[in-house]
């Protein structure tokens, strides 16, 4: 028997350092996350602060950024960390993606030196948590329609509006909020506790339950002039951050798929049906072989895109291709694994159904599968079909 990832000798594409980072993240997941994650999922409660400190301790928060206490590692190393985190739970990878690739990246890329010094080292250490507020109740796929405004009042800014579905929202020390101004969309750093700013958790989720998802309300939030991110003007600011986070999902989704496939292979070997192991039937083997193929291809694609990112040539269309393909295939793998587990597949005793329902969120956030399809359609035809 060989492991699903061994089929394509994926390890031969990785450096020693990348393999070590992957092992380190896996060890922390095994010790700090896997024993508890089903309980967090079931209760819908996450010890986000403790987790952020543990993850900061191994350097995965903003690990692909340089300076300010960040590890400055390559794209593939970051992707592998996402893979291991998402093999534990997509909610944990979401915490890390939003912290590192959305909130920290926005400050790192567009912030002033003072903003970077104030926030990045503490966020890299997991002492402070950030969130990223772009989506609104009426504008998700089309953020250009946003209604949140920031208007000048003397040298201050005053923000009004509502952001929706914001990961880490109520546990954040700082929210990166995107708002419409006279000079186009601009980003603002809103510290928790600022008068007029509040976060309310979304209840009754059946997906990403081991993740905090909140509504942010901005009601006359007054901020000093230096709360604005000076380097971001227009929608390219937030879209640049999303591209970073999507890259992590290309790897992460394959982590969830891998955990499902490993679970299904072990289950099929043990489970007796009609007096023989489930794994001995051709129908089962066809399912396993097909899943191993898609997993292997998805991982190869992820590493390839990672190397392009490291070379500085990765395009947004390539990230869309990776996100679209790998999340779609991961969801397919999770559903097929669920069938192999039969009735047991619907319980939280096994991780498969948890991954499957989590991946429904991953399919939607960071650009829905339809939007990424339209991005590829535009690239192939030269015609934008969004409107």
Name the site residues for ligand FAD (rule: CB under 6 A).
Answer: 98, 131-135, 140-141, 165-167, 208, 213, 361, 364-365, 368, 370-371, 386
Closer to ligand FAD by Cβ: residue 18 or 86 = 86
DSSP 139: B
CB of 369 to ligand FAD, least distance (A): 7
Which lies closer to ligand FAD via its Cβ, residue 157 or residue 165?
165
Distance of closest approach, residue 67 Cβ to ligand FAD, in angstroms? 24
Which SS3 state, helix, strand or coil, does residue 118 take? helix
Q: Is 370 left (phi over 0), alpha (psi -120 to 50) or beta?
A: alpha
Measured from each CB, the residue nearest to ligand FAD is 140
Which class for 302: exposed (0-12), middle (13-18), buried (19 or more C-beta within 10 A)?
Answer: buried
Rounded to an integer, what distance in angstroms lies between the CA atom of residue 52 and that of residue 124?
9
CB 102 within 8 A of CB 241: yes
d(CA 375, CA 325): 13
| Closest CB to ligand FAD among residues 278, 321 | 321
Comparing CA positions, the residue from 197, 203, 184 lying closest to residue 146 is: 184
CB closer to ligand FAD, 18 vs 89: 89
From 216, 194, 213, select the one nearest 205 (Cα to Cα). Answer: 213
- Which residue in the list 215, 262, 366, 370 is annotated as catalytic? 366
**How many CB atoms neighbour CB 113 within 10 A?**
9
Residue with tokens 């109520």: 170
Q: What is the closest distance, in whole angstroms, from the C-beta atom of residue 34 to ligand FAD in the complex?
A: 21
By beta-carbon proximity to ligand FAD, the closer residue of 21 and 359 is 359
Minimum Å gap between C-beta 367 and ligand FAD is 6
Closest separation in Å from C-beta 386 to ligand FAD: 4
Q: In the numeric block, which tokens belong to residue 99?
A: 């912290």
Is 42 among the catalytic positions?
no
The catalytic residues are 366
């Amino acid at each position: 028997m060989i492991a699903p990832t061994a089929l394509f000798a994926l390890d031969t594409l990785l450096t020693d350092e990348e393999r070590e980072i992957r092992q380190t993240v896996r060890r922390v997941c095994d010790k700090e996350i896997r024993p508890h994650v089903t309980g967090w999922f079931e209760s819908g409660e996450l010890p986000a602060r403790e987790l952020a400190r543990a993850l900061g301790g191994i350097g995965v928060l903003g690990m692909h950024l340089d300076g300010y206490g960040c590890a400055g590692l390559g794209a593939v190393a970051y992707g592998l960390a996402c893979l291991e985190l998402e093999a534990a739970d997509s909610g944990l990878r979401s915490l890390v993606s939003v912290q590192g690739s959305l909130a920290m990246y926005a400050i790192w890329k567009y912030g002033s030196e003072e903003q970077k010094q104030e926030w990045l080292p503490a966020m890299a250490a997991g002492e402070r948590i950030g969130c990223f507020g772009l989506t609104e109740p009426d504008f998700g796929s089309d953020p250009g329609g946003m209604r949140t405004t920031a208007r000048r009042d003397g040298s201050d800014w005053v923000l009004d509006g509502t952001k929706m579905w914001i990961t880490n929202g109520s546990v954040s020390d700082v929210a990166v909020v995107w708002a419409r101004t006279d000079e186009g969309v601009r980003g603002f750093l809103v510290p928790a506790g600022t008068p007029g700013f509040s976060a309310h958790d979304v209840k009754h989720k059946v997906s990403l339950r081991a993740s905090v998802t909140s509504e942010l309300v901005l009601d006359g939030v007054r901020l000093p002039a230096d709360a604005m991110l000076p380097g971001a003007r227009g929608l390219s600011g937030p879209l640049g951050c999303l591209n970073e986070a999507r890259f992590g999902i290309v790897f992460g989704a394959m982590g969830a798929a891998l955990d499902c496939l490993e679970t299904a292979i072990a289950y099929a070997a043990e489970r007796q049906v009609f007096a023989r192991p489930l794994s001995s039937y051709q129908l089962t083997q066809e399912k396993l072989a097909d899943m191993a193929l898609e997993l292997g291809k998805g991982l190869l694609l992820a590493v390839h895109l990672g190397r392009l990112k490291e070379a500085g040539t990765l395009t947004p269309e390539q990230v869309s291709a990776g996100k679209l393909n790998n999340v779609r295939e991961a969801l397919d793998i999770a559903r097929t694994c669920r069938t192999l587990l039969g009735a047991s597949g619907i319980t939280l005793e096994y991780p498969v159904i948890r991954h499957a329902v989590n991946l429904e969120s991953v399919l939607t956030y960071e650009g829905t599968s339809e939007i990424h399809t339209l991005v590829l359609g535009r690239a192939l035809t030269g015609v934008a079909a969004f409107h």
